[in-house]
């Protein structure tokens, strides 16, 4: 189960390794440079999805591939069932789309033998579990658990050795491949001109499922369409590099028409995708299911996929589920989302996941325990008496006794920054991420009226800064950076060596690096845990204390006991639980 140590360690180790591999290949092959073009191609293709599918259908049918548009999961299942004879032996490649509609379970009930042929998916099928990851479904299991399962189920002697396990599964499935009467695979890309179905894989199972049986169903989402093959290799590289750190997978399959012995059916599943494309959440549809966001998600890394309850996990999972499933399940998934935005810089399709989840949250009931606290966070009403050119907006977080020192320090800079002080008031961020969009908007409007009178606004809180930066642009500045800039003129940086904690909300700001600016005037020692989430995330530490604490425990303690600095008051409070010496960035200037 998700809370067992072995489960946690398997997931944590696997995700860490995948992220490392991804970053390595991104550096080596300069994948980042390919991304803008790929996103553009994806956008234009999705905008014209209806026409492109029309074109593709016409082309495929000319070549003898039967195309079927399934509005609902039931439509898809009925269509497939109607084309099958009795008791078929079906070999299946891994496909999230078929998991989405529970196709295997349905066909089994209809009396067919369905065999998952992807190694991870086969293991999951034997254990009767849900996949716990988009691309590596058995990520939560150890070799020891898998060999135990095989021993019990197949009554064979087998060691915990991964080579031996793989060999057993190879032999076991070879016979299925050769005798199967029907194959089912997914598709990663479908191009309209020329009409081509493209599927990436490493094991070779997809290639076999697609060629050996006399009947082939290709089940794919309505969102998998691309205009043409120009640039498709780049998108493949972006997908495989992001998902597994591979420039190419071992096999990339292309299908244009049936083989002589074959009948091919292409089933295109809508199941909420058209609605998604017309909604304010349409950017979600760009998702290529690479799972980069899951591999970096502080919560996913601790708990794996099963706790989310459905096949789509993490922030992106709540968005996908809202359209392909229902709002109630989406709400449950979103409850586990920190809204930290760590996933956004990792997403190769540039989906603004955190802010889309915030918008989606407006459909959810606000939990009872949040109603009062959010109400109490009032907007700024009082104008400070305008005397100076600039303003320091302290915000709501520094009023607790824990941050008293920082609070005093911030105020002490007012004169030197030629700034008035706005003490009271909430920026609206807590409301925004809980889906209270109107309440959030009200608070921003209040600030707008006050900010009008000033040329620059300094904000000591990194969360508030990242939030208001989106609304006010360069007019708002992070106080720590301003202090570092003025280190020569009236502001003195403290001597000493520091460790730095990067708040998640600063991660998704483009061309912004607080640490680099601070490093110009402070001695900051590199630290392997500096960009790891602390698990605080506003109210998450209150609502999910167990998971929050697990996330925090991943931040490695330093032996030399150096002071740890951060600009986020929420992180500050969380870090205080385990680190002796934590300081707000304002405290290291004088």
Question: Where along the sequence are the contacts to another protein (CB under 8 A)?
Answer: 10, 13-14, 17-18, 117-120, 123, 136-139, 141-143, 146, 162-163, 165-167, 169-170, 173-174, 177, 191, 194, 196, 202-205, 207-208, 210-212, 228-233, 244, 247-262
Identify which of residues 140 and 501 has a Cβ nearer to another protein in the complex.
140
Report the nearest approach of another protein to the CB of residue 43 (Å). 20
Burial letters 104-117, b for 16+ CB under 10 A, else e: bebbeeeebebbbb
What residues have CB less than 8 Å from 490, skipping those under 6 apart?
416
Identify which of residues 119 and 287 has a Cβ nearer to another protein in the complex.
119
**DSSP string computed for 325-380:** S-HHHHHHHHTT-----TTGGG-TT---HHHHHHHHGGGSPPPHHHHHHHHHSPPP
Distance CA 185, CA 189 (A): 12
Report the nearest approach of another protein to the CB of residue 117 (Å). 7
Report the nearest approach of another protein to the CB of residue 313 (Å). 17
Distance CA 301, CA 297 (A): 6
Report the nearest approach of another protein to the CB of residue 345 (Å). 22
Report the nearest approach of another protein to the CB of residue 533 (Å). 21
Report the nearest approach of another protein to the CB of residue 193 (Å). 8
> Quick one: three-class SS letters along 30-92?
CHHHHHHHHHHHHHHHHHCHHHHHHHHHHHHHHCCEEEEEECCHHHHHHHHHHCCCCCCEEEE
Identify which of residues 67 and 380 has a Cβ nearer to another protein in the complex.
67
Identify which of residues 251 and 512 has a Cβ nearer to another protein in the complex.
251
Report the nearest approach of another protein to the CB of residue 174 (Å). 8
Distance CA 291, CA 239 (A): 10
Identify which of residues 14 and 427 has a Cβ nearer to another protein in the complex.
14
What residues have CB less than 8 Å from 422, skipping those under 6 apart?
380, 384, 391, 392, 393, 394, 450
Name the maximum alpha-carbon separation found in the chain.
Answer: 85
Strand 390-393, strand 225-228: pairing: unpaired
Residue 201 burial by CB count (10 A; 0-12/13-18/19+): exposed, middle or buried? buried
What tokens were used for 459? 């904000």
Q: How is residue 491 annotated by DSSP?
A: -
Q: Are 565 and 501 in contact (CB under 8 A)?
A: yes
Identify which of residues 138 and 427 has a Cβ nearer to another protein in the complex.
138
Q: Where are the alpha helices (DSSP H) in 186-254?
A: 205-211, 232-244
Identify which of residues 293 and 504 has a Cβ nearer to another protein in the complex.
293
Identify which of residues 230 and 404 has a Cβ nearer to another protein in the complex.
230
Identify which of residues 194 and 490 has a Cβ nearer to another protein in the complex.
194
Q: Are 2 and 10 in contact (CB under 8 A)?
A: no
Report the nearest approach of another protein to the CB of residue 253 (Å). 5
- Closest CA relative to residue 236, chosen from 225, 249, 223, 224: 249
Report the nearest approach of another protein to the CB of residue 162 (Å). 5
Distance CA 385, CA 63 (A): 76
Q: How is residue 558 annotated by DSSP?
A: P
Report the nearest approach of another protein to the CB of residue 283 (Å). 26
Identify which of residues 11 and 429 has a Cβ nearer to another protein in the complex.
11
Report the nearest approach of another protein to the CB of residue 249 (Å). 7
Length of the chain: 590
Report the nearest approach of another protein to the CB of residue 192 (Å). 12
Identify which of residues 214 and 389 has a Cβ nearer to another protein in the complex.
214
Report the nearest approach of another protein to the CB of residue 166 (Å). 5
Name the phi and psi angles at 107, rounded to 5. -70, -35
Q: Are 41 and 226 in contact (CB under 8 A)?
A: yes
Identify which of residues 119 and 307 has a Cβ nearer to another protein in the complex.
119
Identify which of residues 1 and 162 has a Cβ nearer to another protein in the complex.
162
Distance CA 16, CA 31 (A): 19
Name the phi and psi angles at 328, rounded to 5. -65, -45
Identify which of residues 37 and 557 has a Cβ nearer to another protein in the complex.
37
Report the nearest approach of another protein to the CB of residue 344 (Å). 24
Name the phi and psi angles at 264, rounded to 5. -120, 135
- Closest CA relative to residue 583, chosen from 496, 472, 520: 496
């Amino acid at each position: 189960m998700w809370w067992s140590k072995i489960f946690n360690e398997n997931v944590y180790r696997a995700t860490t390794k995948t992220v490392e591999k991804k970053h390595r290949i991104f550096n080596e092959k300069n994948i980042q440079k390919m991304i803008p073009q790929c996103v553009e191609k994806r956008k234009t293709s999705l905008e014209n999805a209806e026409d492109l599918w029309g074109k593709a259908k016409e082309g495929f049918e000319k070549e003898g591939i039967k195309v079927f548009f399934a509005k609902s999961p039931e439509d898809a299942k009925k269509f497939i069932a109607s084309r099958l004879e009795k008791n078929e032996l079906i070999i299946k490649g891994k496909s999230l789309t078929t998991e989405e509609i529970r196709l295997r379970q349905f066909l089994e009930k209809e009396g067919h033998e369905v065999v998952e042929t992807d190694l991870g998916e086969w293991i999951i099928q034997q254990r009767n579990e849900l996949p716990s990851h988009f691309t590596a479904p058995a990520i939560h299991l150890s070799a020891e658990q898998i060999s135990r399962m095989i021993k019990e189920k197949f009554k064979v002697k087998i060691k915990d050795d991964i080579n031996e396990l793989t060999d057993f599964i190879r032999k076991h499935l070879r016979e299925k491949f050769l005798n199967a009467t029907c194959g089912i695979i997914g598709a990663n890309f479908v191009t309209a001109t020329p009409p081509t179905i493209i599927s990436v894989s490493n094991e070779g199972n997809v290639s076999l499922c697609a060629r050996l049986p006399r009947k082939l169903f290709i089940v794919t989402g309505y969102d998998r369409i691309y205009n043409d093959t120009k640039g498709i290799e780049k998108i493949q590289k972006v997908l495989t590099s992001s998902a597994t750190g591979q420039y190419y997978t071992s096999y990339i399959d292309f299908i244009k028409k049936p083989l002589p012995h074959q009948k091919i059916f292409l089933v295109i599943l809508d199941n909420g995708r058209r609605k998604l494309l017309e909604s304010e959440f349409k950017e979600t549809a760009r998702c290529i299911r690479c799972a980069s966001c899951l591999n970096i998600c502080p919560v996913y890394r601790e708990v794996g996929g099963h706790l989310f309850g459905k096949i789509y996990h993490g922030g992106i999972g709540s968005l996908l589920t809202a359209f392909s499933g229902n709002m109630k399940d989406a709400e449950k998934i979103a409850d586990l989302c920190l809204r930290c935005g760590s996933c956004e810089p990792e997403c190769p399709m540039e989906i603004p996941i955190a802010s889309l989840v915030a918008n989606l949250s407006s459909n959810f009931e606000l939990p009872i325990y949040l109603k009062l606290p959010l109400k109490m966070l009032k907007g700024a009403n009082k104008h400070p008496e305008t005397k100076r050119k600039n303003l320091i907006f302290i915000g709501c977080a520094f009023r607790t006794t824990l941050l008293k020192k920082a609070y005093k320090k911030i105020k002490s800079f007012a004169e030197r920054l030629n700034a008035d002080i706005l003490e009271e008031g909430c920026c609206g961020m807590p409301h925004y991420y809980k889906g209270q969009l109107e309440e959030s908007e009200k608070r921003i409007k209040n600030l707008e009226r006050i900010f009008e009178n000033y040329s620059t606004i300094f904000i000591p809180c990194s969360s508030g800064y990242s939030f208001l930066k989106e609304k006010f642009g360069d007019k708002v500045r992070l106080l720590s950076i301003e202090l570092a800039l003025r280190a020569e003129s009236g502001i003195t940086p403290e001597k000493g060596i520091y460790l730095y904690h990067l708040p998640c909300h600063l991660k998704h700001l483009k061309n912004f690096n607080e640490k680099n600016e601070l490093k110009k005037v402070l001695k900051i020692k590199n630290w392997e845990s500096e960009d790891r989430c602390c698990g605080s995330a506003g109210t998450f530490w209150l609502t999910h204390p167990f998971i929050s604490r697990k996330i925090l425990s991943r931040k490695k303690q330093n032996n030399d006991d150096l002071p740890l600095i951060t600009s986020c008051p929420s992180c500050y409070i969380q870090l205080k639980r385990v680190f002796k010496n934590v300081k707000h960035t304002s405290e290291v200037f004088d």
